Amino acid sequence: MRKPVLERYPLPLRVLHWLLALLLAMQFTLGFVAEYGAVRWSEALLRLHFRLGMLILALTVLRLCLRLVMSMPAVDTEEPPGV
């Protein structure tokens, strides 16, 4: 059975994409502040940084699994191949 051809990526994949982008920005910020910011909060920030990293890993695995299962948009044949 063939999967239907879509014009856009499915909503769950789009939501996970932008959620992961936001979480990664938070992850970099937490790591930077924990390393160079307030010394008294650095241990707590590093623990939060680690937990956030585990959440990002789990959401990335979920996103990859959904990507394998869900239908994807057709490839545009008129677009030149990537460099």
> Structure pTM?
0.78
CA distance 34 to 41: 7
Q: Hey, where are the domains in the chain?
A: 11-68
How would you classify residue 72: left for phi > 0, otherwise alpha for psi between -120 and 50, otherwise beta?
Answer: beta
* pLDDT tens-digit readout, 59-80: 999 999 999 999 888 777 777 7
CB 26 within 8 A of CB 51: no
Helix (H, G, I), strand (E, B) or coil at 62: helix
Of 8-12, 18-22, 27-31, 70-74, where does the model show the most confidence?
18-22
* pLDDT tens-digit readout, 33-61: 888 877 787 888 888 999 999 999 999 99
Q: Give me the pLDDT at residue 35, please.
A: 82
Closest CA to 16 of 62, 70, 69, 73: 62
Mean pLDDT of 6-28: 93
CA distance 73 to 10: 9
